[in-house]
Amino acid sequence: MLQSAQKSKPVPNRKAALREEAAQSRGLKRPCQKEVSTGKKKLEKIPDSYQVTEELLLMPYRKLGSCAVRIKQGRQLIQVSSPREFEDSKKMALEMKKMLEAGKSLGQVRAWQEKKLTG
């Protein structure tokens, strides 16, 4: 019995066959694949030479004890999490925002942040 079961062919997947038929009837080259998307796009890293031209906002994360600088209606540029407390993180983020608005590059601001947090 086991040998006959191993020799038998698996039952074809009905959904796959239906997708293929639907694709052929629509004139598509291949059937659409159902993939679950998480909804998040993978963003590329912002280069250190980036100069800000848009309006900036502070984004506080009180539960995490950090604060971020982000582009208005856009993405986050840099986030600071001070080991001391939330107010210190917010103060540093405000300084970084002012530096970016003054024309410093993102790389210069990141270097300042590292120096401030480690030293």
In a domain, 25, yes or no: no
pLDDT-derived band of residue 118, with 50, 70 and 90 as boundaries? confident
Q: What is the phi/psi pair of residue 100, to 5°?
A: -65, -40
In a domain, 91, yes or no: yes
Structural domain boundaries, residue 63: 56-118
In a domain, 28, yes or no: no
pTM over 0.85, yes/no: no
Question: Tens digit of pLDDT for each residue in 7-41?
Answer: 666 656 777 777 777 777 777 766 555 555 666 67
Q: What is the mean pLDDT of residues 88-104?
A: 92
In a domain, 94, yes or no: yes
In a domain, 84, yes or no: yes
| Angstrom distance (rounded) from CA 41 to CA 88 | 31
Token code pair at residue 50: 């980036």
In a domain, 107, yes or no: yes
Question: Would you say residue 57 has pLDDT above 90?
Answer: yes
% pLDDT > 70, the chain:
80
* Predicted pLDDT at 101: 92
If one counts the domains in the chain, the total is 1
Strand, coil or helix: 78: strand
In a domain, 18, yes or no: no
